[in-house]
């Protein structure tokens, strides 16, 4: 089987990572590669690590160029994917790495994004309860945001098991700079980010907040609210998320709490609940689709604390996208994703 | 005026930073420099950036060597300072950068440190309410821990103003690796820390937790409990602390909340509440005694979020120590601390 | 076909990288995994990124444990591999990532290593002239040093084409810290290496110097001497080598010089002479077996300057080892090496 | 004594560093602060580490604004300073951190910069033979380039002592990213520079090459030519330069070679020839005006190798500028420069 796959937004970090993974996928033939302002340039000048594609020329991102493929990846600024997707055949598998189709609530979308809602697609986080089934056979996939991937994998098992209170959930994440994309901004320059950590989008305004609440609420069966603070860390890739929630029963046996997470991920190939006493490190998962997490019950204050690491570009974006593609098409879920984390 | 000052633990990061600052202090003459296993070596081989002291030989850390100075800095492993201090004259100003004399509660000490309590000294964080006065004229100072410095400066104004609930306080910090000291451990090697972020001491077990609770409780006038999670960041220096607490009145005017912090630090020379819209970055304060913070009210969830940056070795250790020394001796508070943050 | 492969030194960086690559090799089954002081521990505590092998227990590095495999990788301190190798069957493919069997000159070995020479094995740098043929069918392979890999790939085409003078060859390299291994040394700690660059082994004493001279001399057909200076850079992986040599004919057409490199690597899958105007960056090749280089003729001073990047652990050690294994066994040369450089 | 000092180009890295140092200078009052496109903004938004000047508003860079000061620092793009300087009074001390007035040879200027030569000013590297005297009382100073500062301090003692051949001088440097300035370019973004090292300006085309040759030729008394290759390193500040030249007498006693450097810098307060066996590291000098170097004779190939570290923004730009200002005005040379290198 050979799938013909197109990738839009190929000059950016998300698009580049999709291509990096597809080059290692045995069943994929890379078709059109498109960009916006960089159309007409050779990929080698923009993504020099993709030697095998160095001489490919970026085409314009149009429905015409993208049609005629089995799969189309959209790695576009939010707001751009809805329009393109509407012009692609219904039987083409369209995978949107942008935000447009993630939220079920149109009002949450409008509150946080300030534009009309483009509709909701099946959500590409197969490790959520019942989610893998919803992806099988679909032709439209919304890839989760990078922070929501790490946040939901951190706390959904506890909400699903009825262990966690729906209020005073606090999530603090640190992300590598590639999460901010390739746009030229002073605060993202190397001289500015090395040696520095800085928060942004503080106070409940980050657009990934409602996406986290959506996943938690679905798992909990009641509305969950979240205080989310992202920070920028001096590393190119990786997210570490510290997620903490109040236990409904402050006297619950910590072993029972742990069991909820162990069971939730028992059959998952990419999510690893580390042995007790071992803490995750973003280096464990760099460039891979793996997730590592550890949890602790703080009985003094009656809260559980979960720390989770992912690579924001791989499991947090392109890897989750390829994994979802494999599920949608009935392929083995790990194809193209056998890469091992790059340590040291 | 010329003070004769001794520094113990001079081969470590805290001791080295004390020396770095004292070299820039106009009223200080550096006397004995001591170490433990490195005694007998030249300082230049251990702290090569201190060119002016390169040929000084490290002496043994004994009361005999340390006596005969106006001021003695102790930068020793916890448990070691109490014994040495007891042998020094009462009129010598002894400044302990270790943990031994920070906690007022002997039971909290014993719970977190597992050894007998050495007693409580005046706490060297002059920006706390009423604390500066307690430092004037004292001859014993307990330098705060680096995380508690950033945490207390983050939330004490809100507790002192009666704005914050005493439960579900969540503090997540990221520290540069020098916070872990100079001891040889695999997870602290450069190959391991670059590109990596990792938590440790999760679940309410980190020893700085009761120190934070002590400061918050004093300010609030009621017992405050804290969920604290520290992480290690890929940078040598700097702490960013994200501190969030539930508002007693969820409908409070955000401007009134902000005002509590602005007023608390209006007369402080080292603490800067940034203009609205500007976020702190550890780079603003590297190598300096300055503190930068910003806060936001998240009305959706009824919490305040404060993000604060310090240099863990300067304001978080050696700078706070020198500042407290100046206060104790009636000197201008900023002497030796005019260094500006090293950016970029 | 399924090869049973043993890896010794599996707790170190070179051994870990061999395992990382073998996990992606379709024809390999990983057999014994051995260590020295870490024998008895689970691999997951020492190499947590290798999730698939987390529960494997490290065995002792003995000939008994290593025998019964088709291939044995030795990632041991120099001096240790000769003894072990002598006890392994002659028809076992033994691949030594250490230095013991690289040098042809016993006197050069003794001068730089100060111990008796263990003999010379076929040299695992197939891109050298005629070298690929020498590897086919061999059962003993000496993996080149990381610096010599980058240095020889930089200048051998010029020496082979008779363009370069044999004296005043100057090579300056910067390596990521993993090149120094996992041993606990103060100058390798994160707090020390971040923000710092430092030379070492200056003045013709680095042990990789005679290995470079061996390769250059063989290509030139006359003795070549080298001034080599290595430096340590604040990154975990990667080598950039700047290599410069005097042109025999200072008026030679720069295009003719360039042609020598283009032709030398025209059929190589892993070595990329970049398009004119594009410069290599270690990020292009991180975690991959690729090599990128660029050259310039400085007519003002009559020298050619070549800058070359590799990943010291991949092409510089484990990748070169796997590539050589594939050649020795008659497999496709790129098996297990389809990983793409991890950028950004 | 209080000098009124203006700083142009204050929004850039060089201008920011001048201000950082002037804030620590006891005899300086900071007057006008100017910029080009950022005029009208508060300094606090552009240089947030300069808390003491946060509310100062950037003015336009005009002769009118800059006049009326005792000292004017120009930190402008090359080509801009000549015009401004011509409009300033002759008795104002004008210190140009740009390239315009460094080169004595108009033809070298035109070859490398492609524009008319603006004339030559006294060169602000007082450690060169006889140079300190030329700076006393001058009202015009050309601040050296950062690479030439490190290169000349590396090899001038050897040329001045008649030890080195004028050909086959090879200099390879690695610089922190701040050396490339604050302009928005993709290859300078954090995601691109972390984990990466890359050369640029290879093959004798970097504009600092003739400046190095000028200094070497003056010291040697004969024309010296240089092969110079700069690389960009993953750190915000610091330069390490590896400089190597052929010895005129290959059998010279290494101790005599060393003595040339020791004597050249015996009376210098900022230049440190490290004890034998200790190697420089850029961390020794971060944020300080200090220089550390070490040398080795490689008798095998008859060359000397010198490795030298500076902070490109301090000794390499703003520190050298302030040091030269102090000399020109007859102040103590170290005023404002008592900062100690920021390690770890």
Say whether C287 and A342 touch across the interface (CB within 8 A).
Answer: yes
D288–chain B nearest CA distance, Å = 9
Query: What pLDDT is stored for residue D78 in this prediction?
Result: 83
List the domain range (segments joined by +) for residue D188.
147-312
Predicted confidence band of residue A78 (pLDDT cuts 50, 70, 90): confident
Angle formed by the axes of helices D209-220 and D146-160, nearest 10°: 20
Say whether C272 and A23 touch across the interface (CB within 8 A).
Answer: no
Contact A225, A204 (CB under 8 A): no
- Any idea what the CATH number is for the domain that residue B276 is in? 3.30.360.10
Say whether both B239 and B112 belong to one domain. Answer: no
Contact D49, B285 (CB under 8 A): yes
- Using DSSP's 3-state secondary structure scheme, residue B154 falls into helix
B137's CB contacts (< 8 A; 6+ apart) are B328, B330
Contacts of D192 in chain A (CB under 8 A): 190, 236
Say whether both C132 and C255 belong to one domain. Answer: no
Query: CA–CA distance from A181 to each of A193, C286, D242, D313 (Å)?
Result: 14, 20, 35, 28
Hey, is the C-beta of A30 within 8 angstroms of any chain C C-beta? no
Residue of C146, C224, C243, C318 marked active site? C146
In a domain, residue C339? The reply is: no
Backbone angles phi, psi at B298, to 5 degrees: -100, 90
Query: What pLDDT is stored for residue C1 in this prediction?
Result: 63
Query: What pLDDT is stored for residue B79 in this prediction?
Result: 84
Which chain B residue shows the shortest CA-CA distance from D178? Answer: B344
In a domain, residue A130? The reply is: yes
Say whether C204 and D299 touch across the interface (CB within 8 A).
Answer: yes
- ipTM, interface predicted TM-score of the complex: 0.96
Query: What pLDDT is stored for residue B77 in this prediction?
Result: 87
Q: Per-residue pLDDT tens for A196-251? A: 999 999 999 999 999 999 999 999 999 999 999 999 999 999 999 999 999 999 99
Say whether both A166 and A292 belong to one domain. Answer: yes
In a domain, residue A339? The reply is: no
The fraction of chain A above a pLDDT of 90, given in percent, is: 97
Say whether B49 and D285 touch across the interface (CB within 8 A).
Answer: yes
Say whether both B162 and B94 belong to one domain. Answer: no
Can you tell me the distance from the alpha carbon of C282 to that of D200, in angstroms, rounded to the nearest whole number? 13
Q: How many domains does chain D have?
A: 2
Say whether both A196 and A323 belong to one domain. Answer: no
D90–chain A nearest CA distance, Å = 36
Say whether A184 and D186 touch across the interface (CB within 8 A).
Answer: yes
Residue D274 is given by DSSP the state P
CB neighbour burial string for D223-262, b if at least 16 within 10 angstroms, e if fewer? ebbbbbbbbbbbbbbbbbbbbbbbbeeeeeeeeebbebbe
Say whether both A160 and A130 belong to one domain. Answer: no
Interface with chain C: mutation pick from B12, B189, B239, highest number of C CBs within 10 Å: B189
- Using DSSP's 3-state secondary structure scheme, residue D134 falls into helix
The H or E element spanning position A287 is: none
Can you tell me the distance from the alpha carbon of B255 to that of B210, in angstroms, rounded to the nearest whole number? 31
Contacts of B191 in chain C (CB under 8 A): 13, 176-178, 180, 182, 188, 236
Closest to A235 (Cβ–Cβ): which among D194, D235, D236? D194
Contact C94, C140 (CB under 8 A): yes
- Any idea what the CATH number is for the domain that residue C65 is in? 3.40.50.720
Predicted confidence band of residue D79 (pLDDT cuts 50, 70, 90): confident
Predicted confidence band of residue B1 (pLDDT cuts 50, 70, 90): low
Task: Answer yes or no: is pLDDT of B61 > 90.
Answer: yes
Say whether both B155 and B279 belong to one domain. Answer: yes
Can you tell me the distance from the alpha carbon of A104 to that of A100, in angstroms, rounded to the nearest whole number? 10
Task: Answer yes or no: is pLDDT of A80 > 90.
Answer: no
Hey, is the C-beta of C78 within 8 angstroms of any chain D C-beta? no
Residue of B28, B143, B146, B321 marked active site? B146
What tokens does D259 get? 């003595």
Say whether B24 and D339 touch across the interface (CB within 8 A).
Answer: yes
Predicted confidence band of residue C132 (pLDDT cuts 50, 70, 90): very high
Closest to A186 (Cβ–Cβ): which among D180, D184, D194? D184
Query: What pLDDT is stored for residue A275 in this prediction?
Result: 97
Predicted confidence band of residue C79 (pLDDT cuts 50, 70, 90): confident
In a domain, residue D32? The reply is: yes
Angle at B295 between CA B291 and CA B296, to 5 degrees: 165
Dmax over CA atoms of chain B, in Å, equals: 63
Q: What is the 3-state secondary structure (H, E, C) of D162-188?
A: CCECCCCEEEEEEECHHHHCCCCCHHH
3-state helix, strand, coil in chain C (%, to 5): 30, 20, 45
Can you tell me the distance from the alpha carbon of A195 to that of A42, in angstroms, rounded to the nearest whole number? 34
In a domain, residue B333? The reply is: no
Closest to D199 (Cβ–Cβ): which among C233, C237, C307? C307
In a domain, residue A336? The reply is: no
Task: Answer yes or no: is pLDDT of B187 > 70.
Answer: yes
Say whether both B152 and B86 belong to one domain. Answer: no
Say whether A204 and B301 touch across the interface (CB within 8 A).
Answer: yes
Hey, is the C-beta of C38 within 8 angstroms of any chain D C-beta? no
Contact A269, A126 (CB under 8 A): no
In a domain, residue A112? The reply is: yes
- Taking the CA atoms of chain A, what radius of gyration do you get in angstroms? 19
Query: What pLDDT is stored for residue A77 in this prediction?
Result: 87
Residue B189 is given by DSSP the state B
- The answer to whether the pTM exceeds 0.90 is yes
Predicted confidence band of residue C276 (pLDDT cuts 50, 70, 90): very high
Q: Per-residue pLDDT tens for A295-333? A: 999 999 999 999 999 999 999 999 999 999 999 999 999
Query: What pLDDT is stored for residue D142 in this prediction?
Result: 98
- Taking the CA atoms of chain B, what radius of gyration do you get in angstroms? 19
A230–chain D nearest CA distance, Å = 17
Say whether both C320 and C178 belong to one domain. Answer: no
In a domain, residue B335? The reply is: no
What tokens does A271 get? 């999510």
Say whether A189 and D188 touch across the interface (CB within 8 A).
Answer: yes
Mean pLDDT, to the nearest integer, of C263-276? 98
3-state helix, strand, coil in chain A (%, to 5): 30, 20, 45
Contacts 24+ apart (CB under 8 A), B54-58: B54/D272, B56/B30, B58/B10, B58/B11, B58/B33, B58/B34
Task: Answer yes or no: is pLDDT of A173 > 90.
Answer: yes
Q: Per-residue pLDDT tens for D31-53? A: 999 999 999 999 999 999 999 99
Task: Answer yes or no: is pLDDT of A40 > 80.
Answer: yes
Backbone angles phi, psi at C9, to 5 degrees: 70, 30
Known catalytic residue at C58: no
Cα B247 to chain centroid, rounded:
27
Residue A332 is given by DSSP the state -
Query: What pLDDT is stored for residue C236 in this prediction?
Result: 98
Predicted confidence band of residue A1 (pLDDT cuts 50, 70, 90): low
Say whether both C153 and C282 belong to one domain. Answer: yes
Say whether both A103 and A189 belong to one domain. Answer: no
Cα C268 to chain centroid, rounded:
16
Say whether both C236 and C180 belong to one domain. Answer: yes
Residues in chain B: 344
Task: Answer yes or no: is pLDDT of A93 > 90.
Answer: yes
Mean pLDDT, to the nearest integer, of A143-166? 98
Closest to D195 (Cβ–Cβ): which among C167, C238, C242? C238
Query: What pLDDT is stored for residue D52 in this prediction?
Result: 97
Can you tell me the distance from the alpha carbon of D201 to that of D214, in angstroms, rounded to the nearest whole number? 19
Nearest to residue B72, comparing CAs of B86, B56, B88?
B88
Say whether A49 and C236 touch across the interface (CB within 8 A).
Answer: no
């Amino acid at each position: 089987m050979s799938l013909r796959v197109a990738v839009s937004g190929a000059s950016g970090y998300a698009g580049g990572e999709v291509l990096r993974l597809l080059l290692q996928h045995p069943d994929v033939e890379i078709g059109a590669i498109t960009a916006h302002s960089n159309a007409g340039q050779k990929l080698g000048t923009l993504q020099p690590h993709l030697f095998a594609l160095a001489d490919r020329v970026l085409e314009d991102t149009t429905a015409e160029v993208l049609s005629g493929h089995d799969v189309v990846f959209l790695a576009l600024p939010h707001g751009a994917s809805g329009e393109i997707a509407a012009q692609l055949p219904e039987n083409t598998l369209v995978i949107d790495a942008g935000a447009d189709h993630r939220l079920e609530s149109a009002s949450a979308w409008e509150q946080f994004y300030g534009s009309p809602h483009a509709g909701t697609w099946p959500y590409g986080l197969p490790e959520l309860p019942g989610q893998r089934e919803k992806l099988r056979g679909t032709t439209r996939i919304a890839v989760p945001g990078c922070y929501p991937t790490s946040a939901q994998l951190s706390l959904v098992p506890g909400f699903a098991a009825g262990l966690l209170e729906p209020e005073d959930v606090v999530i603090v994440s640190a992300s590598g700079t590639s999460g901010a994309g390739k746009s030229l901004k002073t605060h993202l320059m190397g001289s500015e980010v090395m040696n520095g950590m800085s928060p942004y989008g503080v106070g409940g305004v980050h657009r990934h907040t409602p996406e986290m609440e959506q996943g938690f609420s679905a798992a909990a069966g009641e509305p969950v609210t979240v205080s989310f603070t992202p920070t920028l860390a001096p590393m190119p890739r990786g997210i570490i998320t510290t997620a903490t929630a109040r236990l409904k029963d402050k006297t619950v046996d910590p072993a029972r709490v742990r069991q909820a997470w162990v069971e939730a991920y028992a059959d998952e190939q990419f999510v690893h609940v580390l042995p007790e006493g071992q803490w995750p490190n973003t280096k464990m998962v760099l460039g891979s689709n793996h997730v590592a997490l550890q949890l602790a019950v703080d009985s003094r204050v009656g809260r559980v604390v979960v720390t989770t690491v992912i690579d924001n570009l791989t499991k947090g974006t392109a890897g989750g996208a390829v994994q979802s593609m494999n599920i949608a098409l009935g392929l083995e879920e790990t194809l193209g994703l056998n890469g091992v984390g790059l340590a040291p």
